[in-house]
């Protein structure tokens, strides 16, 4: 019985020491992941590639309709404004905002230029935006093309 009591006190002491030594680890070294707003607005985004149906169509689109995503720069600011620069064309300025629980970006909401893109991937170095483009085939018939625009820093 004396051995049992000794083990009981030893176990109780061990549990007490364990609980006391476990604090909240609030030493200020916690890494806080940046918000989606911070990730989007930290730097200017540069077009890298354009994908459709899992295929890289960047060069094909550049050759066929003179649309080279690699010549597109996009700067989103925290105040809800953006600047879009494409090749040698004048810059386009406008407003942007999150939609759908920060899973989408709406550009120029409520205007005739309103456009929406779904955020497929967002890291500190990559931004992938999904959109459906309305194009025309050789005969002038409307064609929908689901694309993924990939940007980087």
Query: What is the tens place of the pLDDT at every residue in 106-153?
Result: 999 999 999 999 999 999 999 999 999 888 888 999 989 899 999 999
Instruction: Select the more confidently predicted residue: 62 or 15.
Output: 62
Structural element, H or E, at residue 36: helix 36-41
DSSP 117-133: EEEEEE-SSEEEEEEEE
Rounded Cα distance, 6 and 28, in Å: 40
pTM over 0.75: yes
For the chain, percent of residues with pLDDT exceeding 90: 64
- Determine contact, residues 97/67, Cβ cutoff 8 Å: no
* CA distance to 29, 30, 95, 103, per residue, from 25 (Å): 9, 9, 42, 32
Structural element, H or E, at residue 85: strand 81-86
The 3-state DSSP class for residue 98 equals strand
Q: What is the mean pLDDT of residues 61-73?
A: 90
- Determine contact, residues 39/123, Cβ cutoff 8 Å: yes
Mean per-residue pLDDT of the chain: 86
- Which phi-psi region, left, alpha or beta, contains residue 69 (left: φ > 0; alpha: ψ -120 to 50)? alpha
Rounded Cα distance, 152 and 125, in Å: 5
- Domains, the chain: 36-152 (2.40.128.540)
Give the confidence band of 4 by pLDDT, cuts at 50, 70, 90.
Answer: very low
Give the confidence band of 64 by pLDDT, cuts at 50, 70, 90.
Answer: confident
pLDDT digits (tens, 9 = 90+) for 38-49: 999 999 999 999
């Amino acid at each position: 019985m004396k051995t049992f009591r000794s083990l009981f006190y030893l176990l109780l002491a061990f549990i007490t020491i364990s609980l006391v030594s476990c604090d909240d680890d609030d030493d200020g070294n916690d890494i806080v992941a940046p918000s989606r707003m911070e990730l989007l607005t930290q730097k200017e985004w540069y077009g890298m590639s354009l994908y459709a149906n899992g295929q890289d169509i960047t060069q094909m689109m550049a050759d066929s309709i003179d649309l080279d995503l690699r010549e597109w720069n996009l700067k989103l600011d925290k105040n809800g404004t953006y600047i879009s620069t494409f090749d040698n064309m004048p810059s386009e300025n406008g407003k942007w905002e999150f939609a759908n629980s920060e899973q989408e970006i709406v550009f120029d909401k409520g205007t005739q230029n309103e456009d929406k893109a779904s955020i497929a991937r967002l890291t500190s170095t990559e931004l992938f935006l999904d959109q459906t483009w309305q194009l025309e085939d050789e005969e002038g018939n409307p064609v929908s093309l689901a694309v993924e625009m990939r940007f980087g820093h």
